[in-house]
Chains A and B, each alone.
Chain A
């Protein structure tokens, strides 16, 4: 697969981003191939969600380019960004459904905002999208009546309501029971293939991620530790990747937050 030229939808080009002094992403180069499922993994605070927010243009890179379909979105103003975002769908960690609207209205929301479709057509599309996530029967429920997994599936139906090209999932598996987790993983894969999407998801679940992703990117310390197919990543001998894939507590990613030496803080002679 690596031999054929990559048709990339999203490209991070020498991109750096940080809050104040602290760099979250340091000169990152990354390509998200069109039509594939890409997983972003890495220790917490490693910049995975930051990458999603950069792709969506919610935050701007300090250096480098964030290209969506070949166009750098970093210098765009709000109106241009909104044009680009209409080609993206994003699923937030806990769904972020509108609490005052029922399931049907939540999914219909993007269509009511962006289109003048007749009510009958909106109804059909909403029910189709809800059917795709298995919740056609839940159309009249309120978000407060839904379980975490169901809320996320409704949010997914809402994210794909306007048939985006790119769907981003921020930790879609966090806090789900094993059944919902398997369902969510299968949905990401099936929707990607059935609708011709490009999918990016952030995840910590190694088993499900390796099962469904075409490409896995592991971030560590603001850089890309490895990038490749699940098989390539599993075989990687890079110490960072090895630590992550095998869930080891010590390794290149440190257990201790950087601070003064142990003997300095505790006044003992021997350093740790």
Chain B
């Protein structure tokens, strides 16, 4: 009985390690496709259009509304300490350092990640991946690489869009609607935001999240069982795993950036 348990645990651990090893090797192969992606940049460009432009609406609108809410909540807190003119700084720091990269990555996982997983899973179910292999075209190069690099490139741009829309939203609520002084709003941002520590950290985060979310989406799609249920499950796993990974990575990155 106990021997059986130990054997089961061993089996589970080995399966898990096998998956981790597979994922790590695929990740390495994707990193090494950079040359291919640069040579076939038209493929990457199409994917940037697909991942970026079609995510723009949801990211922009979300950013705007998060900015509205930050404006309201920020004003509520800051006016207690008589520092409502710092509203712009508070809104922009929250967005650049934290909310921009994280919320954009979560939205990106839901909007672009799922579509990547489903697309690749369906290509697999429709034997299109097998066709590529039989044509002597490496699917990791031809299918995964352009999507990977497009995702890595697109995420920081989307996060920047989110933050910009958010700051605009905070300005609309704070300055136009509540009546915080507009000059103070912008000058506090100008003097208080550090290009490297605040903006730079946010860009690093969004870049890392882009790598993580895109890779998880591609891995799940490429590993999906080639059936409708398999693709459906893989899509769900993409959202769950990518979201948790983003939140976990965010804590690690923030902690690291705090100490540096």
Binding site for B on A (CB under 8 A): 56, 58, 78, 81-83, 85-86, 88-90, 92-94, 96-99, 109-110, 113-114
Contact = CB atoms under 8 A, between A and B. Distances in A.
A93 B137 CA distance: 19
Contacts of B135: 85, 109-110, 113-114
Interface in B128-143: 128, 130-131, 133-138, 142
B142 A88 contact: no
A81 B133 CA distance: 10
B134 A85 contact: yes
Nearest to A155: B131
Nearest to A87: B136
Interface string B113-133: 000000000110011101101
B127 A86 contact: no
A90 B127 CA distance: 11
A78 B138 CA distance: 9
25 contacts: A56-B133, A58-B130, A58-B133, A78-B138, A81-B136, A83-B136, A85-B133, A85-B135, A86-B136, A89-B134, A90-B131, A90-B134, A92-B127, A92-B131, A93-B127, A94-B126, A94-B127, A96-B127, A96-B130, A99-B122, A99-B123, A99-B128, A109-B135, A114-B135, A114-B136
A82 B127 contact: no
Given A90-B131, A113-B142, A96 B136 contact: no
Q: By DSSP majority rule, is chain B's interface helix, strand, loop, or mixed? A: helix
Contacts of B136: 81-83, 85-86, 114
Contacts of B131: 90, 92, 96, 98
Nearest to B122: A99
The 4 closest A-B pairs by CB, nearest first: A82-B136, A96-B127, A85-B136, A90-B134
A7 B135 CA distance: 25
Contacts of A89: 134
A82 B135 CA distance: 8
A234 B213 CA distance: 59
B128 A98 contact: yes
B103 to A, nearest CB: 30
B84 to A, nearest CB: 52
Contacts of B133: 56, 58, 85
Given A90-B134, A97-B128, 19 more contacts: A58-B130, A82-B136, A82-B138, A83-B136, A85-B133, A85-B136, A86-B136, A92-B127, A92-B130, A93-B127, A96-B127, A98-B128, A98-B131, A99-B122, A99-B123, A109-B135, A113-B135, A114-B135, A114-B136
Nearest to A82: B136
Contacts of B126: 94, 96, 99
Interface in B80-122: 122
A113 B137 contact: yes
A92 to B, nearest CB: 5
Contacts of A113: 135, 137, 142
Contacts of A82: 136, 138
B122, B128, B142 pick with most chain A CB within 10 angstroms: B128
A34 to B, nearest CB: 20
A92 B226 CA distance: 15
A78, A83, A109, A113 pick with most chain B CB within 10 angstroms: A113
Contacts of B127: 92-94, 96
Nearest to A86: B136
A109 B132 CA distance: 10
Contacts of A58: 130, 133-134
Contact of A88 (B123, B134, B137): B134
A222 to B, nearest CB: 23
A165 to B, nearest CB: 14
Contacts of A83: 136
Given A92-B127, A96-B126, A99-B128, A56 B134 contact: yes
Interface string B130-161: 11011111100010000000000000000000
A221 to B, nearest CB: 26
Contacts of A78: 138
A110 B123 CA distance: 17
A156 to B, nearest CB: 12
Nearest to B126: A96
Contacts of B137: 110, 113-114
B133 to A, nearest CB: 6
Nearest to A113: B137
